[in-house]
Chain A
Amino acid sequence: MPTSSPVMMDSHAIATLRYIRASMDAAATVAVPGSAGLAVGSIGVLAAALALSPALHSVWLLIWLVAAPVAATAGALLLSRQLALRGFTWFGAPVRKVALCLLPGLFAGGVLTVVEWQAQQLHAIPGTWLLLYGCALVCTSAMTSRIIGVLGGLFGALALVAFWVPDSMQMLVLGLGFGGLHLGFGIVMRGRDHGDKG
C-alpha cells in the first residue's frame, strides 16, 4: 500500500513567513530620521565651540573623542526609535547591512587616529575623520537614501579643505562638518518627514 509522507502544515506557514520577511529585508531601506541629524549636529557644534575656545583649544582631541561616542549614542537611540516604528529590529538584515557599510570606515578612522597621534601628526586628524566618515556615509547611502550619499560627498569635500587649511582653521572645518552638515541634513530630513506625514 503506497504511503504518503505528510508535510506539516505549519512548516509551510513558517516557510511563508520567512519568505515574507526575506522579501521585506531585501527591499527595505533604513530611513535615517532628521532628529538624529539634529542631535548629532548639535553635539558637533558644541564640541567645535569648546575646541575653539582658547582655554580648551589644547585639549581639542579629547573634546572630540568624548563628543563622538555621545553623538553616536544619541543618533543610535533616535534611529532605533525610527526602526521600531517601521517594524525593524537591530538584528534584522537592513540594519546589519547598514552597519557593514558604516563600521569599516569608522574603524579605519579610529586606527588612523591612534597612528597619527603616535606620530604627532595631529594636523592630519580632522581631515582623516571627515574623509573616512564621508566615505562611510557614501557606502551607507546604498542602504539608506540618496541624501546620505550627498552628505558623505560633502564630508569628503570638507576633508580636502581640512587637509589644506592652516591648523588654526581646522576646528572650524571640523565644526562645519560634524556640526553644520549634520544640522543641515537634519533640517532637510525633518522637512521631508513632515512632508511624508502630511
Chain B
Amino acid sequence: MATRASVRARSHAEATKRAKPALVRGSKLIDDSRFDRLVYERVRLGMMSALAVSEKLTFSELKALFGVSDGNLSAHARKLEEAGYVTCTKTFEARRPKSAYRLTASGRGALNRYLDHVEAVIRATRRS
C-alpha cells in the first residue's frame, strides 16, 4: 500500500515538475519522430507499466494504484484501447460489472519503444 501511495505522490510531484520546460542547451539531441504521445501521459504510462508486469488488472485495482477518478481512468483506458495497446474484458461478479485490462503485444512494443526513447534522452544528454 505504501508503494501505491508513493506512486500517486510521485505522479503529482512529477506532473508539477513536468510543467517546467525541459531545456537542453545546444543542438537538438534526439529524433522526436518516434515519440509516442499516447504513452507519454502520466497515468497512461503508469497503466501500461503496471500491466507489463501483471497478467491483468481490474479497473478498481488500477484506480487504487494511481489514485484517479473513475472518469479520468475510463478516458485514459479508452484511449489505450482505441490504440490497441490494451484489451478490456467485461464480466459480471455478484451482478456487478467488472472490467479487466491486459496489455497487448502492440502495447508492450509501444512501452518498449518509449523506454528506448527515454534511455536515448539520458544517453544523449550525458554526451552533450
Contacts and interface: CB of A to CB of B under 8 A. Distances in A.
Contacts of B50: 23-24, 26-27
Interface residues of A, number: 29
A4 B23 contact: yes
A1 interface: no
Interface stretch (A10-18, A57-65, A126-134, A153-161): A10-18
B90 interface: no
Interface in A1-46: 4-10, 12-29
A81 interface: no
Contacts of B14: 15-16, 19
B3 A24 contact: no
Interface stretch (B71-79, B80-88, B119-127): B119-127
A138 to B, nearest CB: 17
Most buried by B among A4, A21, A24, A97: A24
B4 interface: yes
A86 interface: yes
Contacts of A4: 21, 23
Chain A's interface: helix, strand, loop or mixed, by majority? helix
Contacts of B95: none
A21 B50 CA distance: 9
Nearest to B47: A23
Interface residues of B, number: 37
Interface string A115-134: 00000000000000000000
B45 interface: yes
Given A8-B24, A15-B14, A26 B122 contact: no
A24 B53 contact: yes
A12 B118 CA distance: 9
A93 interface: yes
Contact of B17 (A13, A15, A97): A15
B6 A22 contact: yes
B86 to A, nearest CB: 13
Contacts of A21: 49
25 contacts: A4-B23, A6-B23, A6-B25, A8-B22, A10-B126, A12-B17, A12-B121, A13-B119, A14-B122, A16-B45, A17-B115, A19-B42, A20-B45, A20-B115, A22-B3, A22-B6, A22-B7, A23-B45, A23-B47, A23-B49, A23-B65, A24-B49, A26-B6, A27-B49, A27-B57
Interface of A: 4-10, 12-29, 86-87, 93, 97
Given A13-B118, A17-B122, A25-B3, 15 more contacts: A9-B22, A10-B122, A12-B22, A13-B119, A13-B125, A16-B118, A19-B46, A20-B115, A22-B7, A23-B50, A23-B66, A24-B50, A24-B53, A26-B6, A27-B51
